[in-house]
């Protein structure tokens, strides 16, 4: 059995966890909106058409923010088409996904839905086919109380109080040639600066996110961030990162090391932000919004067969394997290790489209990746302790990778929580941590997500094939924590602090 030791000190705090790191994403793509969160004809729908079985699962995830309405969709988005009486809303073609958008679920429906599932909006504006004027008008519609054309238009649409949206994405993946309205870094940087400026003049209390690179492999990576921020540094608070991974060559051990590349990506973007800060002699720090991340590769082949110009066809409906859940856990742990800079993150997406939740006309169920998301989102709040991990590693295409990924978080409700991934496909691993600096601790919860088959899935017929179970291998003796991590497993360990001493 391999061995891994974590060294930490309760006084060495890396950063508080910004709860928005557990955000998600709803795009007008495939069956995410229609047949996902919204399906008026469904027996599960309420009077507004929102599926209540889906809403219940979303509440279990405890999602603090949801990015909307895209994604690639937003670059051609005309928000005015999505408000007002539904019978007057036009059906439009969407060039991003080559489908017909009915606009029957729009901005105000989305805002009603966010309240129902206890989340907050992260709204994106189009800086692809549109620009400053449309952005100014949209925030006037959403955030002003009344007395102006667009705020009064909202009131005429039956929404008396402003939506008061505080977090805004200035476009989406503008570095990508696939993007409708793709721009150079100079073109986008200047547009983001002026759009952000106009939006802040309408509402000075908002936060804005500039588009960073669409992935680490983009040929413009690095120069893009430097150029964009050199233009719009004073008008933005965050820069975005996007990254997806997939086991395309069947090498599961190498695939599970993908978060090593994610770690490098975050470090490099943070360094570029700080380089621009230094060049500008600024006191302001730009942080990171990792607002698209997930596993995405299972559906690539079937998506090529979709008939264009239909309404909400099944697209990007990845059926996730157990090994995908392990990587999702490692990716979330990696972002938490950068909690000092990663303040916002969005798993893409929430329902049906590369999602933790799937639906049919007869049910909604949890994919394998639902469980690490749920556990870390609910119990990974508080502050991250700076830790050092010592243990065996292996060579991967991404660089040296530890067999064990681990993070320790002190929760505000007097718990110390560990999230642990053993990505070793052959051996168990004994994890130890000296916790004698704490006066008194006791093991309160030990949950294990494990399956002998890396390709095991959850389906409507077998929704509980991959589920967490209570662990039995943790012990705490004389302040020393020991837990045996089964091979290919994700584990959550919660220790209750005795606050009476």
Q: What is the H or E stretch that residue 421 is in?
A: strand 415-422
**DSSP at 208:** E
State yes or no: is 475 an active-site residue.
no
In terms of Cβ atoms closer than 10 Å to its own Cβ (0-12, 13-18, 19+), residue 126 is buried
State yes or no: is 173 an active-site residue.
yes
Residue 230 to residue 227: CA distance in whole angstroms: 5
Residue 28 to residue 36: CA distance in whole angstroms: 11
Radius of gyration from C-alpha coordinates of the chain: 23
SS3 417: strand
SS3 240: strand
> Which of 292, 317, 410, 486 is an active site residue?
292
Task: Name every residue whose Cβ is closer than 8 Å to that of residue 319 and which is 6 or more positions away in sequence.
Answer: 298, 358, 367, 457, 459
Which tokens belong to 265? Answer: 């990506």
Contact 276, 226 (CB under 8 A): yes
**DSSP at 50:** B
Which tokens belong to 209? Answer: 């996110």
SS3 372: helix
> Which of 173, 180, 225, 317 is an active site residue?
173
Residue 229 to residue 286: CA distance in whole angstroms: 9
Q: What is the H or E stretch that residue 370 is in?
A: helix 370-379
Q: Is the peptide bond before 160 cis (omega within 30 degrees of 0)?
A: no
Nearest alpha-carbon partner for 320 in 220, 143, 463, 124: 463
Nearest alpha-carbon partner for 178 in 128, 134, 246, 123: 128
Catalytic positions: 173, 292
């Amino acid at each position: 059995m391999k061995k891994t030791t974590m060294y930490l000190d309760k006084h060495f705090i890396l950063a508080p966890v910004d709860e928005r790191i557990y955000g998600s994403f709803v795009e007008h793509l495939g069956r995410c909106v229609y047949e996902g969160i919204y399906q008026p004809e469904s027996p599960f729908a309420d009077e507004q058409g929102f599926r209540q079985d889906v809403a219940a699962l979303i509440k279990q995830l405890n999602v603090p923010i949801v990015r909307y309405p895209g994604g690639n969709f937003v670059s051609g988005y005309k928000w005015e088409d999505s408000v007002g009486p539904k019978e007057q809303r036009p059906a439009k073609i969407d060039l991003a996904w080559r489908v017909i958008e009915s606009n029957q679920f729009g901005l105000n429906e989305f805002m009603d839905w966010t309240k129902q599932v206890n989340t907050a909006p992260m709204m994106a504006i189009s800086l692809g086919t549109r620009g400053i004027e449309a952005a100014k008008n949209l925030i006037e519609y959403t955030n002003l109380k009344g007395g102006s054309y667009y705020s009064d238009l909202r009131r005429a649409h039956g929404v008396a109080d402003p939506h008061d949206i505080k977090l805004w994405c200035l476009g989406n993946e503008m570095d990508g040639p696939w993007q409708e309205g793709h721009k150079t870094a100079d073109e986008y940087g200047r547009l983001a600066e002026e759009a952000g400026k106009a939006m802040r003049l309408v509402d000075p209390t908002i936060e804005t996110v500039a588009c960073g690179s669409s992935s680490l492999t983009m040929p413009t990576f690095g120069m893009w961030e430097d150029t964009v921020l050199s233009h719009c540094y004073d008008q933005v608070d965050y820069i975005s990162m996007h990254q997806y991974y997939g086991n395309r060559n069947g090498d599961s051990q190498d695939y599970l090391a993908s978060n090593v590349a994610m770690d490098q990506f975050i470090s490099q973007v943070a360094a570029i932000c700080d380089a621009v800060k230094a060049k500008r002699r600024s006191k302001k720090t730009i942080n990171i919004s990792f607002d698209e991340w997930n596993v995405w590769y299972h559906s690539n082949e079937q998506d090529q067969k979709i008939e264009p110009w239909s309404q909400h066809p099944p697209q990007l409906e990845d059926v996730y394997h157990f090994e995908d859940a392990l990587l999702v856990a490692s990716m979330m742990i990696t972002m938490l290790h950068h909690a000092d800079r990663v303040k916002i993150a969005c798993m893409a997406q929430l329902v049906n489209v590369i999602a933790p939740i799937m639906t049919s006309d007869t049910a909604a169920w949890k994919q394998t990746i639902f469980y690490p998301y749920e556990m870390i989102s609910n119990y990974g709040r508080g502050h991250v302790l700076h830790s050092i991990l010592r243990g065996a590693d292996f060579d991967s295409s991404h660089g040296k990778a530890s067999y064990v990924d681990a993070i320790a978080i002190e929760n505000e409700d007097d718990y110390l929580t560990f999230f642990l991934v053993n990505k070793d496909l052959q051996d168990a691993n004994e994890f130890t941590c000296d916790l004698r600096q704490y006066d008194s601790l006791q093991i309160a919860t030990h949950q294990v997500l494990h399956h002998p088959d890396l390709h095991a899935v959850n389906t409507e017929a077998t929704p509980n094939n991959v589920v967490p179970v209570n662990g039995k291998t943790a012990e705490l003796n004389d302040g020393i924590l020991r837990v045996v991590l089964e091979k290919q497993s994700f584990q959550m360990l919660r220790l209750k602090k005795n606050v009476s001493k």
